[in-house]
């Protein structure tokens, strides 16, 4: 019912978005004519097989790649990284500054821009939100993968963004750590009321975290399926994932994903 949605409830308005990238001198169409909205305070999951262009889509929303078509952020055409939007990268090792402590990494986006005391307050708040208060003065390479990704999330939170874009942030973590961070993300979202776009190739993760889900597939990639996931705000790794509703949504997405792959392949 998009016509019922008030304009100020729309964070991103994407119309006919296409992205071409040059690789080894060859221009390739990665995304073709995508149209969708991202609504305030929702978590939109975007799933798709590896290599479809999910990351490219997210980078377009972040203002990191040139696009054609129209992307409006709070009603204004997006060109370049917008303020209030932060992308959390999959590759936390290279996204963190290994010569800076946890605290200094979290400070990167706000230091020198706001008064010192306020800056320290924000840093402390962000670090406590992700539960790293005992690791303030550690260096990233002294931490586990999950903790490093938390540092990156804390750095994003310290910017007080209205929108968080997640690029498969838990993709390279083990299952236990990943589930812990998923719950942490749900908690952070309920505290900060941040709008999220979450990209993953893990269908369970997409359904568990999303209020809405979109399937990206094909080459060039387009949106082939959309699903509302009204599981509510409080979700639980065991109960939610065993509930009939959850399994039903999961089933639908799997089916659509197979269909998009010509029925021949399982998901990747």
Gyration radius from the chain CA atoms = 19
Q: How far is the CB of 8 from other proteins (least distance, A)?
A: 24
Measured from the CB atom, the residue of 95 and 206 that comes closer to other proteins is 95
Q: How many CB atoms lie within 10 A of CB 161?
A: 21
Looking at the Cβ atoms of 25 and 244, the one nearer to other proteins is 25
Tell me whether residue 54 or residue 235 sits nearer to other proteins (CB atom). 54
Distance of alpha carbon 145 from alpha carbon 142, whole angstroms: 10
Which CB sits closer to other proteins, 10 or 65? 65
- Cβ distance to other proteins smaller for residue 85 or 260: 85
Can you say how many angstroms the Cα of residue 194 is from the centroid of all Cα atoms in its chain? 11
Q: How far is the CB of 84 from other proteins (least distance, A)?
A: 10
**In this structure, are residues 67 and 60 in contact, taking their beta carbons and an 8 Å threshold?**
yes
Distance CA 193, CA 214 (A): 21
Residues 61, 71: contact at Cβ < 8 Å? yes
Q: How far is the CB of 110 from other proteins (least distance, A)?
A: 8
From the CB of 243, what's the least distance to other proteins, in Å? 36
Q: In sequence order, what are the beta bridge partners of 196?
A: 43, 164
The pair of structure tokens assigned to 49 is 């097989």
Two structure tokens written together for 102: 């946890």
CB of 119 to other proteins, least distance (A): 14
CB of 33 to other proteins, least distance (A): 25
Judged by beta carbon, residue 25 or residue 80, the one nearer other proteins is: 80
Q: At 139, list the tokens.
A: 């260096």
**194 class by beta-carbon count within 10 Å (0-12 exposed, 13-18 middle, 19+ buried):** buried
CB of 219 to other proteins, least distance (A): 23
Residue ranges binding other proteins (CB under 8 A): 62-64, 80-81, 83, 85-87, 89, 91, 94-95, 97-99, 108-109, 139, 141-142, 155, 159
Question: Hey, how many other C-beta atoms are within 10 angstroms of the C-beta on 121?
Answer: 13
Of the two residues 86 and 253, which places its CB atom closer to other proteins in the complex? 86
**Distance between CA atoms of residues 221 and 29, nearest Å:** 8
Pick the closest to residue 217 from 160, 268, 155 (CA basis): 268
């Amino acid at each position: 019912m998009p016509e019922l949605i008030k304009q100020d409830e729309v964070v991103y308005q994407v119309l006919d978005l296409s992205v071409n990238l040059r690789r080894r001198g060859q221009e390739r169409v990665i995304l073709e004519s995508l149209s969708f909205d991202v609504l305030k305070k929702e978590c939109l999951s975007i799933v798709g097989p590896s290599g479809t262009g999910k990351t490219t889509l997210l980078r377009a929303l972040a203002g990191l790649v040139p696009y054609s078509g129209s992307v409006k952020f709070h009603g204004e055409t997006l060109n370049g990284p917008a303020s209030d939007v932060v992308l959390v990268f999959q590759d936390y090792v290279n996204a963190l500054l290994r010569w800076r402590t946890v605290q200094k990494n979290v400070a990167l986006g706000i230091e020198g821009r706001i008064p010192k005391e306020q800056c320290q307050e924000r840093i402390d708040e962000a670090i406590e939100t992700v539960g790293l208060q005992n690791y303030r003065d550690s260096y990233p390479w002294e931490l586990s993968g999950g903790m490093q990704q938390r540092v990156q999330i804390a750095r994003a939170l310290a910017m007080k963004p209205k929108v968080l874009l997640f690029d498969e942030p838990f993709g390279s973590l083990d299952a236990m750590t990943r589930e812990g961070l998923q719950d942490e993300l749900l908690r952070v979202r309920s505290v900060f009321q941040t709008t999220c776009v979450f990209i993953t190739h893990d269908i369970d993760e997409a359904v568990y975290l999303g209020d809405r889900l979109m399937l990206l597939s094909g080459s060039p990639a387009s949106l082939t399926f959309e699903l509302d996931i009204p599981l509510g705000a409080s979700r639980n790794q065991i109960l939610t994932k065993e509930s009939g509703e959850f399994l039903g949504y999961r089933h639908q997405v799997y089916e659509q994903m197979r269909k998009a792959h010509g029925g021949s392949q399982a998901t990747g």
